[in-house]
Amino acid sequence: TDDKIIKNAIDVSNEDEVIYGKEINHLNINSKISLIDVIEEISKIQSIERIRTSSVEPLIITDDFLQRVSKIEKFCPHFHLSLQSGCDETLKRMNRRYTTKEYKDAVEKIRKYFDNPAITTDIITGFPSETQEEFKKTYQYLKEINLYEMHIFPFSRRSGTKAYDMENQLDNKTKHERSEILINLAKQNKAEFEKNMINKIQSVLFEQKVGDYYEGHTKNYVKIYVKSDKNLSGNILNIHIKKLEDEKLIGEIV
């Protein structure tokens, strides 16, 4: 039922942040209730200060969704959009329901409605029958859309899946070499995105102490590190981002 979907989709990690589970994709597909309806209802809860989605499919990102969600001050502009490959031929073999054009359209729409949104994804390299030409298409596509963060995985053959029995399985060396190429691209994209945040003031929700620093997230879910004698955990503070050091954004309390 719709009520059950909503209950299962909502996981309140603390009173400051709400995260939606995998079932959010079904809200738009199999339900009378859409994801934006749920977000709007949750935004009315006073004790919740931030709302964030987990992985969503590109086809959920419509103009109607973005127009409505961009008006919700509590909403965090971090979108994890499932991609898997930047090549349409590979996506077809993966039985994905979207094309690279539809994915790119979703990315461009998000950037139209939000200032500096963090868009992240997962990519699989070496899916059965992936040619060098198809991999090049993925590389060029990812370079073009320039996402904040990409989680790169070499294809892992698992019994019981359709891909397990597919022909033209790639060797581990090829899969891992392609992963390394994309990991390097991902590092470049992330560093470029984070450098653009230096000298800006961001609202940061602090969660825990890591070494000498307190670790927190901006509204667009970028990690920020701040030194403080006081316990910052659980607090939302304005932070002036000063520098990128050892792949970490360091800031000071305003």
**Mean pLDDT across 232-252:** 96
93-124: b (≥16 Cβ within 10 Å) or e = bbebebebeebebbbebbeebbebbbbbbebb
Beta-carbon count within 10 A of 213 CB: 18
Distance CA 37, CA 53 (A): 13
Q: Of 27, 35, 141, which is closest to residue 79 (Cα–Cα)?
A: 35
Q: Would the pLDDT of 8 be above 60?
A: no
Distance CA 132, CA 126 (A): 9
Q: Would the pLDDT of 221 be above 80?
A: yes
Cβ(143)–Cβ(104) below 8 Å? no
Q: Would the pLDDT of 187 be above 70?
A: yes
Distance CA 254, CA 239 (A): 5
pLDDT of 166 reads 84
**Mean pLDDT across 98-113:** 97
Instruction: State in Å, rounded, how far the first CA of the chain is from the last one.
Output: 47
Cβ(223)–Cβ(251) below 8 Å? no
All domains of the chain, ordered by start, with CATH? 2-195 (3.80.30.20), 201-253 (2.40.50.140)
Q: Would the pLDDT of 19 be above 50?
A: no
Q: Which pTM does this prediction carry?
A: 0.87
**Mean pLDDT across 150-154:** 97
Contacts of 78 (CB under 8 A, 6+ apart): 52, 53, 117, 118, 119, 120, 219, 220, 221
Both tokens assigned to 170: 């790639």
User: How far apart, in Å, are the Cα atoms of 122 and each of 2, 109, 136, 182?
Assistant: 28, 19, 17, 11
Q: Would the pLDDT of 22 be above 60?
A: no
